[in-house]
Amino acid sequence: MNERDSEIMSQALAMSGYVESMDIEDADLVILNTCSIRAKAEQKVMSLLGMLRKVKKSRKGMQICVAGCVAQQEGERLVEKMPHIDLVVGTQNIYNIGDLLEKARVSPGYIAIGMEDEYAIPRFMPNESEDSSKASAERDVPTTFRKFVTIMQGCNNYCAYCVVPYTRGREVSRKVSDIIDEVKAVVASGVKEITLLGQNVNSYGRTNIVTDNGLPYTFSDLLHAVSKIPGVARLRFTTSNPKDLSDELMKCFKDIPNLCPQFHLPVQAGSDAVLKKMNRKYSVEQYLELVDTLRSYCPDIALSTDIIVGFPGETDEDFQGTMEMLERVRYHGSFSFKYSDRPGTRSSDFEDKVPEDVKTTRLIQFQARQDEISLEQNRKYVGQIKEIMIEAITDEGVKGRTSSNHIVHVNEESTAIPGDFIRVEIYHAGQHSLKGKLIQE
Ligand code: SAH
Ligand code: SF4
């Protein structure tokens, strides 16, 4: 999400004539695009801002802008704490960052964090006008062949621990035609892999009308439509809340050939009591049924998840449930976090907080077992032939990605360049990547 927002800001700035600087020391503008999902990310922003105060002193006219979720939540408080900030721009205000920076020139410390009631995601397109197409032409030469396309923003779920509904506002789905137009434009610029992006893509089209004729339209409909756009070689999406995962959507993995066999399905915890307190609205058994169904449609699907350890009230037994989840699902990989209190969330008021050292022990135990399982899962690929899309040239050869989202290193001379598809035979598996050798066709 933040990565896509950074792209949007950099496109908007390119249209206003800005060029990217490689070094903070000679930048006229520094934007910190911040995340407040966990306390650690927020602390990093504060220390970076401290460092920037010194840089700004020695560089006349430099502007410092804070964007993203910390900006949205902290607003004026940020400028009070750090008066050298020129602009605070909220999650829904990034589209006109160029104008806002001009305003901040006149009144430094400018705050733009309004969330409009009738907010609709602006129709941001890479080449909207003659002028902008000139400005962005150079930038559109793809440095990556994979792009995110936002399909919705905000979230109405209010999981007890989560700050997103407060920092990104209510859930709004983008119009189908706007999404299709953007995918077409992105593909025309050379991109081959599209990831549809939203906090809970499964509920796409449920909170507002997304079609011109007013008819209902689901996320599965969107997947089918996007998959048919010529040039979309690979299609992915993220993220999904299990509570809204329909059979129709799971079946897409069987029916859509260019939908990659990979699914990120955050479970958060393996105990019904904890899931209930988290307000996740599914049980362990329901989640496992979804996994079975997914595998019945797509036996090779690579599953990954998000886990929170040490949610308030989590007992040893609850945590064992989470460990068991690993054994039962055998995820290819996971993102795991220690629970962290976020301002304004319901769980920050819960009293039965788990001590820090217990959270740390649980996290280490979880990650160690996940690493073993990832390795076991990856070893299954050894001996298999896979198609990879090249992402980078490395010192040893090239690096690419399988449709199951595994990185493959090919350590031999090849004429392949980023964006090419080549076939390799996997001969080695590590926890986080694979090694393959070229197949001579
Ligand atoms: N919309 C996605 C999640 C977005 S946030 C979903 O519903 O699955 C990404 C991940 O950050 C979450 O899945 C969760 O595991 C983690 N996270 C969110 N808030 C957290 C908190 N307060 N403490 C620790 N981890 C948190
Ligand atoms: Fe946060 Fe829950 Fe919404 Fe995901 S679904 S963004 S975890 S509130």
Which pLDDT belongs to residue 116?
58
Q: Which of 37, 152, 153, 164 to mutate to test the pocket of ligand 2 (most atoms within 8 A of CB)?
A: 164
Q: Is the pLDDT of residue 70 over 70?
A: yes
Using the 8-state DSSP alphabet, how is residue 388 labeled? E
List CB contacts of 238: < 8 A, sequence separation 6 or more.
Answer: 195, 196, 197, 201, 264
Residue type, 21: S
Mean pLDDT over residues 327-352, rounded?
96
- Angle between the 2-15 and 97-106 helix axes, to the nearest 10 degrees? 70
Which protein residue's CA is at the shortest distance from atom 4 of ligand 2? 199
Q: Which atom of ligand 2 is nearest to the CA of 200?
A: 5
Ligand 1 and 241: CB distance under 6 A: yes
Integer CA distances (angstroms), 227 to 138, 203, 232, in order: 27, 19, 6
Lowest mean pLDDT among 117-131, 256-270, 331-345, 353-367: 117-131
Ligand 1 and 6: CB distance under 6 A: no
The dihedral of CA 128, 130, 136, 137: what is its sign? positive
Q: What domains sit in the chain, N to C, each tagged with a CATH number?
A: 2-112 (3.40.50.12160), 116-260 (3.30.750.210), 263-379 (3.30.750.200), 385-438 (2.40.50.140)
- Judged on CB neighbours under 10 Å (0-12, 13-18, 19+), 243 is middle
Task: Give the pLDDT band (50/70/90) at residue 42.
Answer: confident
Which protein residue's CA is at the shortest distance from atom 5 of ligand 2? 157
Using the 8-state DSSP alphabet, how is residue 237 labeled? E
Rounded to a whole number of angstroms, the CA Rg of the chain reads 23
Q: Check if the beta carbon of residue 332 is closer than 8 Å to that of residue 404.
A: yes
CA–centroid distance, 361 to ligand 2, in Å, is 25
Rounded-to-integer distance, Cα 101 and Cα 24, Å: 18
User: Which pair of structure tokens corresponds to residue 286?
Assistant: 């329901």
Q: Is the pLDDT of residue 196 over 90?
A: yes
Q: What are phi and psi of 291, to 5 degrees?
A: -60, -45
Which pLDDT belongs to residue 52?
92
Closest Cα partner for 11 from 138, 119, 151, 154?
Answer: 138
Q: Check if the beta carbon of residue 298 is closer than 8 Å to that of residue 249.
A: no
Ligand 1 and 350: CB distance under 6 A: no
Q: Which of 162, 237, 336 to mutate to test the pocket of ligand 1 (most atoms within 8 A of CB)?
A: 162
Q: Is the pLDDT of residue 207 over 70?
A: yes
Q: Which of 201, 308, 335 to mutate to test the pocket of ligand 1 (most atoms within 8 A of CB)?
A: 308
Which pLDDT belongs to residue 134?
34
Q: Check if the beta carbon of residue 186 is closer than 8 Å to that of residue 204.
A: no
Ligand 1 and 167: CB distance under 6 A: no
Mean pLDDT over residues 409-437, rounded?
94
Rounded-to-integer distance, Cα 172 and Cα 150, Å: 11
Task: Give the pLDDT band (50/70/90) at residue 142.
Answer: very low
Which protein residue's CA is at the shortest distance from atom 24 of ligand 1? 339
Which protein residue's CA is at the shortest distance from atom 7 of ligand 1? 241
Task: Give the pLDDT band (50/70/90) at residue 341.
Answer: very high
Which protein residue's CA is at the shortest distance from atom 5 of ligand 1? 37
Reported as a single tens digit per residue, the pLDDT across 157-194 is 999 999 999 998 889 999 999 999 999 999 999 999 99
Mean pLDDT over residues 12-28, rounded?
84
User: Is residue 149 within a helix (H) or strand (E), and if so which, with residue range?
Assistant: strand 146-150
Percentage of the chain beyond pLDDT 90 is 75
